[in-house]
Chain A
Amino acid sequence: MSDIYVVAEHRQGELRDITFEMLTKARALCEAGGHSLTAVLLADEAGALLPPLAERADKILFFQDARLKVFDPDLYRDVLAHAIGQGKPLLILMGHTPSGLEYVPALSIRTGLPIATDCVDIQLEGSKPKLTRQIYSGKLFARVVCRDADSYLITVRPSAFQPEESAPVQAEVVQQPLPGGVGEPRRTFIEYEDTSAGAVDIAQAPFLVSIGRGVGEEENISVIQELAEKLGATLSCSRPVVDKNWLPRYHQVGTSGKSVKPKVYLALGISGAFQHVAGIAGAGTVIAINKDKKAPIFRVADYGVVEDLFKIAEALKEKIKA
């Protein structure tokens, strides 16, 4: 029997969804392989963080220190390198999130352990993980294996696993100070800033017409804007449209934008990268129009049209007039 570690991700006193998603997957792996589940928590205080973890893990490794008040990649790297060295867990699951992107690769170099990132499935064959990733922005799946090692670092794609309730357990909490040799963080946290507030609240809109890079040029935005008006819909977009300054940030749907829950989401020229698709999980019906019949968006859409988006936009305008 070995341990599977889940590194709890939290911000401003709250556990993030990815933590519950990882705990659910880790529990399934533990049950199948007779392993034991340890949640690893780095925080300045237990607050509301401990109880939900205690219900879902067999053990909690709780590193408590004032320096852990806000996330710092150097501290995470040092503390986890220590914990892995001591506990020799088989798998360490961490979020493929902005925070994960900041410390997991460094942890891999520090420990010399292999790493597979952005995994959408994890299987264990004996003590060897088989991992499923998506490459080329989701157009292909890859089964990935690591070289033989005692422990494997795995980052898990947000929303890849559904968090499920399971019979509550009462974890043994092992509280520890920061290990020796952990230095002062090399960067200073200043503040959080919300960049997404604006004139339109796409999160509340019942009908969204959403454009992606496929819209091609800034001049074309007005064509779709007109369509949205005719349809009585709100305009939203994928990230490249905001990156190019064609629409303000508050129109962006996705992990770093907003999560939306319209009755209908009409996606025009959007490929369906996971960071985008994660934002439309709450949509009632997704209709995608894309020239590329292999675009990943068609895997999550309810209805698809393989066609030039402008042809369909024009036809929609015509029909609405009629």
Chain B
Amino acid sequence: MDIVVCIKRVPLTQEVDLVIDAGKKDIRKDDLAYILNDWDNYAIEEAVQLKETFDGSVTVVTVGDEEDEEILRRALAMGADRAVRVDPGSRLLDGFVLSGILASVVKTIPHDLVLTGVQADDDNAGVVGVMLAERLGLSHAAVVTRIEKENGTARLHLELEGGMDAVCQIRFPALLTIQTGINEPRYVSIMGIRKAGKKELKVIELGELGLSDADLLPQTQVEELYLPPEAEGAEIIEGDPGAIAETLLRIIREKGVNV
């Protein structure tokens, strides 16, 4: 069972004031901390668990710069066997371009299964996995919350709305986009990451992939970023915790709840 997992490093944006840069098409990222995209963490764990049960190999792939190797090393520490980074240089990347780059790399790596996260926490677009499946000609399923492998097939749970799952059977090779909660991603220590430093991490330059300009032309672009309109939303209650608590209790009672 050979598995390829496509992963992405994303900025941590909670509890920080995001600053829009002068070009208004992106944010200032210099001061932000970065993490492995949450959904991808579950995808790596799922791949490693499948490998531990059925043998085979796990290869992780990211498109990014040298700093993004941090998440590849993390994946290696979780149990992936090798890692590939494609350096996109200064290219603008949307789902179309990303999936094109990934397709040209993934098709050179043996795979019974390709996993991605459902979406990335920065652009929230949710397209790369299924675009990649289409480019590779793989059958696919999205928002997967359970995989039970049975020989050359797998029984899958796909999450729908309102607590409903669809259960289906899919044949390998296939591409699945992984939903959070499918497993419990293992803890990785700094030591573990250091140890995994010996595993193979291959860097590919975009130029080596033989993609045309048309392949690398984004289909969709941000014209302008802006902050959500002010003056909308909550009335902010201020004061010391005791005073705030009193106000909250008063509001709760006013709204018809007996406390």
Contacts and interface: CB of A to CB of B under 8 A. Distances in A.
Interface in A264-285: 264, 266, 271, 284-285
Interface string B231-251: 011111100011011101101
Contact of B256 (A97, A263, A302): A263
B234 A302 contact: yes
Contact of B259 (A109, A142, A232): A232
A240 to B, nearest CB: 7
Interface in A167-209: 186-197, 206-207
A239 B180 contact: yes
Contacts of B219: 108, 113-115, 146-147
B121 to A, nearest CB: 6
Given A106-B131, A288-B234, A319 B245 contact: yes
B124 A118 contact: yes
A264 to B, nearest CB: 5
A105 B134 contact: yes
A216 to B, nearest CB: 12
Nearest to A310: B241
A189 B166 contact: yes
Interface string B99-140: 100000000000000000010011111111111011100011
Interface string B48-71: 000000000000000000000000
A56 interface: no
B157 interface: yes
A225 to B, nearest CB: 16
Contact of A109 (B99, B139, B246, B255): B99
B223 A243 contact: no
A137 B227 contact: no
A312 interface: yes
Contacts of B177: 101
A194 B163 CA distance: 6
A298 B245 contact: no
Nearest to A301: B234
B80 interface: no
A209 to B, nearest CB: 10
Contacts of A136: 11, 13, 18, 27, 121-122, 124
Interface string A253-265: 0011111000110
A258 B233 CA distance: 23
Given A114-B219, A190-B169, A315-B242, A140 B18 contact: yes
B3 interface: no
A303 B168 contact: no
A67 interface: no
B162 A193 contact: no
B95 interface: yes
Interface string A101-145: 111111011100111111000000000001001111111111111
Contacts of B118: 101
29 contacts: A73-B142, A98-B161, A99-B160, A102-B130, A102-B143, A105-B126, A105-B128, A105-B134, A109-B99, A134-B124, A135-B124, A137-B13, A146-B219, A187-B141, A190-B155, A190-B169, A192-B167, A196-B162, A232-B257, A257-B162, A258-B162, A263-B256, A293-B236, A295-B14, A299-B228, A299-B233, A300-B233, A302-B234, A311-B241
Interface of B: 11, 13-18, 20, 27, 95-96, 99, 118, 121-131, 133-135, 139-143, 155-171, 177, 180-181, 184, 217-228, 232-237, 241-242, 244-246, 248-249, 251-252, 255-259
Nearest 9 A-B pairs (CB), nearest first?
A196-B163, A304-B234, A243-B181, A114-B219, A315-B245, A186-B139, A315-B241, A105-B130, A105-B127
